[in-house]
Structures are given as structure tokens and as C-alpha cells.
Structure 1
Amino acid sequence: MRLERRPHRPLVLVVLAPIVAIVAALLISGGLIALDGANVLDAYWQILVGAFGTRLGITETLTRATPLMLTGLAAAVAFRARLWNIGAEGQFYIGAIAVTAVASTLFAGWPPHLIIPASLAVGALGGMLLLLLPLALRLRFGVDEVVTSLLLNFIVILFVSMMIEGPLKDPLAFGWPQSVPVPTDAMLPKLVDRTRLHIGLVIALVAAIVIWLVQSRTVFGLQSRAAGLSPPAAIFAGVPLGRTLVVVACISGGLAGLAGAVEVIGVKGYVTTDLSPGYGYSGIIVAMLANLHPLGVIAAALFTAIMFVGSDSMSRALGVPSYIADVTVALSLLTMLISIFFTQYRIRR
């Protein structure tokens, strides 16, 4: 028995890979649920009911999926060009603190139709600049961006903590470590009244469509794919590799920074060090489940959000720990990597 690389990846295997991965992850998680003494089918039914059974559940699922779509797109864009952006969590936070700083000071008093797009642009710009630093170290000195972008996450968290304990501390928070709130005029409009669902969902969906069109219909999209498939071959074919990676970094970091800005002016209204429950890291899982396809990111983000929101309902109904959602999402990444492997290789006798 030996492994043989496929001459090309069959479309049916590419489509089935994420489905098989999710089913396998659910089966393994089901075993853990059964060990806890709960009925597996009842547990998964409670997850669906919690995510879609009520108006609140539906809107909370979509609200949770919004930043996951943006961070998933950030990872997908970078990974397709073989730029290993593991720093989306830090870019998320730098976008969040940047939009809070400018919206509460420089942009204060601006009308909503100006302050909202300006704030989103500042958040995206913060994420761009943060990712350009690891890329510059890679292009200039050959430093692995996996390490630098990952370590920057922790540096940014400490920076955000310093800002909300210092210059941006809310004096009316009774000592609670949070930033000053952004002006009411800077908050994103709600899609559904008396819920947290905001127009950021539309922004994320439009971003996914635009990224798909750019990657599939433009010269830059072809260049970024070529850079990911084989950098030496791309250079030989005349692709400006450095310039292409800079643009990819701007898009990827900008999307992650935009996710942080959207979460602040769409949901929270201020920044805390627990603003993100791991959106940047979960975005990597979302991108892999989507097989790095921008439109697939939408479905993968919805699946991840369903698990996170529905697991709380399952925990209340059956007493199963809600951490099973984290286990399932993590398992889906592992099973997806195995599925991708077998779309590229086959077993031969």
C-alpha cells in the first residue's frame, strides 16, 4: 500500500470534503456526549433549537456568524496566497481599539453617514498595518510570519489592556476595565428591532462576494493563486510576488481589522480585553472548513456560530458542558485537514 498524488483534484471530492469532515467531527463529539450520559440525537436537536428555534436564537446566530465570516475571509485570502496569517486575533483587537479611539475623539460630532464608514475604514487600516509588519520581516529578512503574526496577538492584547486602563479608560465604568463608549451616531443600524443583529452581516456577505469575484475574475486573483500554488513558478511567469503579497496582506489584515470594528460599533459599543471569544483563531477553522473558498466561508461561519450559540441551549436542557462546541469545532479542523489530504492523495496497492 502506498500514497499516490492525484494528477488533479476531482470536483466531487472537493465538494464532499467539508461535509465529510463535519459529519466525522459530529460523530466523534457524539461519542463524548454519550459518555456524559446524554442522548446524542437529543443533544444535537437542542443545538438546532437553540440556534434556530426562536427569533432571538436566529438573530444571535447571525450576529455571532458576522465576525467569523470576516476573520474567515481574512484567513482564506492569506492562506490561498501562502501567506500564513495567524494574527487575525490581534488584527481584530487593533481594529476594535482604533475605531474606539477615533470615533470617540476625532470623529465625535460627525453625522452617521460619515462617522460610520470612516470608523470602519480606520478599523480596517489598523488591521492592515499590523499584518504588514510580519510580511515586511518575511520579505526583508526571511522571518517566518507564522511566528511573528502569532506573537503579535499577545502584544496587541497587552496594548489594548494598557489603553483601556489608561488613555481610553471609561471614567463611568466604576473601575471596570473597559474603554470609553463610541458615540451613538457611530453605531451600526440594526437589521431587526430589539435584537443585536446589525448591518454588519450585510457588510460581511458583500465582502465574501467581492473577494470571490476578485479571486475568480481578476488578474490579481490569478496572481495571488499562482503565488500560493508555487512561488518560484509564479516569479518565473512574471508575477510580482512581493507586491502581490503586500496587497494580499492589506486585504487579509483589513478584513480582520474590519471584524473588530464591526463588533465594537455593531454590538458592544466599547472595548474590553474579552471582546473576542477567539474570533481570530476560529476564523482559521472557518477558512479551512470552506476549503479557502470565499463563498464557502459563509456556510462554515454559520456552522461554527450554530455550534457556539446552540451549545448553550443544549447545556441548559441536558446538562452537557457547553465546551462540547469548542471540541466539535476543533475536531472539524482536524477532520478537514485529513479530508483535504485525501483529495490530493489516494491509496494505491
Structure 2
Amino acid sequence: MQLEPRLHTPLWMTVLAPIIAVIVVLILCSGLIIWADVPVIPSYIALFKGAFGSKFAIAETLVRATPLILTGLAAAVAFRAKLWNIGGEGQLYIGALAATYFGTGLIELPSFLMIPFLFLVGALAGGALLLVPALLKTRLKVDEVVTTLLLNFIILLLANYLLFGPWKDPMAMGWPQGAPIIDEGILPKLIEKTRLHGGLIFSVLAAICVWIVMSKTKWGLEIRAVGLNQEAAAFAGIPINKTIIRTALISGGLAACAGVTEVAGTKEYLTLDISPGFGYTGIAVAMLAGLNPLGVIVAALFIAGIYNGADSMSRAMDVSNYIADVITAASLLMVMLAVMLTRMRIRFTA
């Protein structure tokens, strides 16, 4: 048995492969539900209802998908250039810190200016944070996996210090949280009596813009070329270091905007738990999407639905909600296998 590249991949195979992979994962994971002595079909129905079964459920799924779209885009852009950005969590928090610093009264602008300003300062902070590992990579050949990962802990400890110290809100009854964002900086609600906010629109527009840049512009071509073959890209006259630094600024800025949406939209103030791992989950989102910016939207909705639905399934059927982690991990592996089989053909030989 050997693998050989396909000369042409039909469109139907590209579309159906991830869907079939997810169906296979759900069938395989049903074994865990049976092991818990719980009926499979009612459990999956409860999972679906918890994710998409009501207006409130849909709103909560979209709320959770919003930062995942942005962190997924951050990973997708960086990975295209083989810049292994594992620091989405730290970049998310630095964006939240920047939004808190400028959005709690330091600067007061009308809403139509204040909200874009918060996204701008957050993106600049995130880009500047990832610029450090990018410069270390291009100048000193330091592995960015290590530097971006360690920066996560530095930024989280910085946020911890600020919320227990100088930024602690005296009106928070002793809880470690920052002062609330001023009304002009709060993202508008999209559906009344839910937490769904305008950050969803921003994240979807960001995905469309990234897709246009990556597929239709010279910048996108340079990023993809550097990721595919740096030597060939350099021979073609593409500035390698400049492209990596530009990619780092875009990637870090996107991840930081996820922090802005959580502070100015979901929570409306900074806390230590604004992210249950959105930065790391964004990597899974990007891989599930095949690094396609538009596919990131679908992958983020899928993972957000799985996590929200698993909580509902846990309450209704007494199944551990950690099954969501298993489904997500298995889906990632199965989709990667499915994508590989769309590009490669298995040939059996004597």
C-alpha cells in the first residue's frame, strides 16, 4: 500500500470529506456515551438542542464562536507562513489589557469612534507582542514555538498582577476585576436579552478580509510562498524576513481583537477568566478549517456548538461534559486524515 498525489481533487470530495469525518467521529464517540450507560441518540439530541435548539442557545453558541473565529484566523494566517504562533492566548489577553487601559475613561469618544479605537489599540498591542518572537526568529533563529508559548504565561501573570493590584475595581466587592468599559466603548447587542454582541459581525468581516488578502493580493501570495518554500520564495525576490514580520503583526492583531470583543462585548470588564483557552482552541479551529479563512467561521461554529451542547448534554443526561474535548480532538485528527485523503490516493500494489 502506498500514497500518491491526486492529479485533480473533485469539488464534491473537498466538501464532503470534512462532513463525513465529523459523522465518523460522532459514531466513534458514541462508544463513550454507551460506556457511561446513557442512550446515545437522546444524548446527541440534547447536545444539538443545547447548541442550536433555541434562540438563547444559538446566541450563546455565536458568543462563544466570536473569539474562536478571531484566534482561528490568527493561527491560520501565521501557519500559512510557517510562523508557528502558539501565543494566541497571551495576545488575546494583551488586547483585553489594552482595551481596558484605554476604554475605562482614559479617552472618551463617541461610540462610532470609541469602538474602532479600542479594536485598533488592541490590535496594535497584539501585533507588538508577536513582533518580539518574530524578530527573534528572523534575527537570531530562535524557535517561535517556545517564545510565543512562554509569552502566554508572562501576559497572564501581568494581568493577574494588575487585577489584584493597581487595576482592581474598588466597586467590585473584593473580586479581582477591572473597572467597567465606558458606555461608548461597549459593543452593541445584536439580540435583546442575550449576550450576543457586535463582535460577531467584526469577526465575520475580519474572516472575509483575511480571505481576500490571502487569496487575491500580493501580500497573501508572499505569505503563502514563504510558507511553502522559503528558498524558492527568496529566489523569486520575496523578502522573507519582512513577510514573516508582516504576518506576525496581522496574526497578533487578530488574536488581540478577540480579547477586545470579550472585554467590550461579552464581559464589559476585564477578569482573569475572560478566556477558557480561546487562544489554544483557535489552533484547532484553524486546523479543522484547513487554514482557510472562510472555513474558520464554520469550524468555530462547530467547536462552539460542541462545547455549549456538551454542557447541556451533561445536565440533561448526566454525561461528563469533557466529552466535548474528546469530540474536538477526534474531529481534528479525523478531518486532517480526510483532507490528506482528498489530496492523496491510496494505491495497493502486489
Taking structure 1 as the reference length, the TM-score comes to: 0.95
Secondary structure at the counterpart of residue 182 of structure 1: coil
SS in 2 for 1:337: helix
Q: Secondary structure at the match of 1:4?
A: strand
**Corresponding residue for residue 31 of structure 1:** 31
Report the CA distance shift for 1:9/1:78 in structure 2 as closer, same or farther (over 3 A).
Answer: farther
C-alpha change, 1:246 and 1:17, in structure 2 (3 Å) is: farther
Q: Does 1:64 find its partner at 2:64?
A: yes
Give the Cα–Cα distance (whole angstroms) in 2 for the partners of residues 242 and 14 of structure 1.
33
Deviates more, 1:272-281 or 1:333-342: 333-342
Cα pair 2:133 2:148 within 8 Å, conserved: yes
Confirm or deny: 8 A CA contact 1:90 1:154 kept in the other structure.
Answer: yes
Distance in 2 (alpha carbons) for counterparts of 1:283 and 1:245: 20
Partner residue, 1:316? 315
Bigger drift between 89-98 and 16-25 goes to 16-25
Cross-structure match for 1:228: 227
Matches within 5 A, 1:138-217: 138-217=137-216
Q: Where in structure 2 are the equivalents of 1:71-82 lying within 5 Å?
A: 71-82=71-82
Aligned to 1:263: 262
Whether the 8 Å CA contact 1:99–1:120 is kept in 2: the answer is: yes
Q: Deviations over 1:263-309 (max 9, x none)?
A: 11001011122110111111111111111111111111110111111
| CA distance in 1: counterparts of 2:63 and 2:18, whole angstroms | 23
Q: Is the 8 A contact 2:105 2:182 kept in 1?
A: no
Shift of residue 12, structure 1, vs aligned partner: 4.5
Contact 2:96 2:122 in 1 (8 A): yes
Which 5+ residue runs of structure 2 have no aligned equivalent?
none
* CA distance in structure 2 between the aligned counterparts of 1:138 and 1:21, rounded to whole angstroms: 36
1:89-140 CA distance string (max 9 Å, x none): 1100110111101111421x32222221111111111111111111111001
Q: For 1:155, give the aligned amino acid.
A: I
How far residue 310 of structure 1 moved from its aligned partner, in angstroms, is 1.1
Is residue 302 of structure 1 aligned with residue 301 of structure 2?
Answer: yes
Structure 1: how far apart are the matches of 2:102 and 2:158?
A: 16
CA distance in 1, matches of 2:240, 2:89: 26
Q: Which amino acid aligns with 1:92?
A: L
Q: How much has 1:20 moved relative to structure 2? A: 3.2
The root-mean-square deviation of aligned C-alpha atoms, in Å, is 1.6
Contact 2:68 2:285 in 1 (8 A): yes
Give the counterpart letter for 1:168 in structure 2: W
Q: Which residue of 1 aligns with 2:273?
A: 274
Q: Within 1, Cα distance between the matches of 2:50 and 2:346? A: 41
Aligned to 2:247, the other structure's residue is in SS state helix
Cα distance in 2 between the residues matched to 1:273 and 1:302:
24
Give, in whole Å, the separation in 2 of the partners of 1:327 and 1:15.
24
Counterpart of 1:90, as a letter, is G
Shift in alpha-carbon separation, 1:83–1:323, aligned structure 2, 3 A:
same
Partner of 1:22: 22
Query: Aligned pair 1:90/2:96, yes or no?
Result: no
Q: What whole-Å deviation, never above 9, does each CA across 1:56-90 have from its counterpart, x for those lacking one?
A: 11111111111111111111111111111111011
Alpha-carbon distance in 1 for matches of 2:14, 2:217: 23
- Distance in 2 of aligned mates of 1:6 and 1:49: 40
Aligned mates of 1:209, 1:229 — CA distance in 2: 23
- Alignment partners' CA distance in 2, 1:76 and 1:320: 33
1:50 maps onto 2:50 in alignment: yes
Alignment gaps of 5+ in structure 1: none
1:33 deviates by 1.1
Displacement of 1:192 after TM fit?
Answer: 0.9
How far apart, in 2, do the equivalents of 1:168 and 1:235 lie? 47
User: Distance in 2 between the 1:166 and 1:29 partners?
Assistant: 45
Task: Give distance in 1, aligned partners of 2:9 and 2:316.
Answer: 43
Partner letter of residue 65 of structure 2? A
Equivalences for residues 274-293 of structure 1 within 5 A: 274-293=273-292
Task: Describe the superposition over 1:162-193 as per-residue Cα deviations: whole angstroms up to 9, x where unpaired.
Answer: 11111211111222111122112210011111
Query: Which amino acid counterpart does residue 339 of structure 2 have in structure 1?
Result: I
Aligned mates of 1:283, 1:175 — CA distance in 2: 32
Structure 1 pair 60/157, CA: closer, same or farther in 2 (3 Å)?
A: same
- 1:117 corresponds in structure 2 to 116
Amino acid at match of 2:41: L
**Conserved 8 A contact 1:18-1:291:** no
Alpha-carbon shift at residue 327 of structure 1 (Å): 1.5
Counterpart of 2:94 in structure 1: which amino acid? I
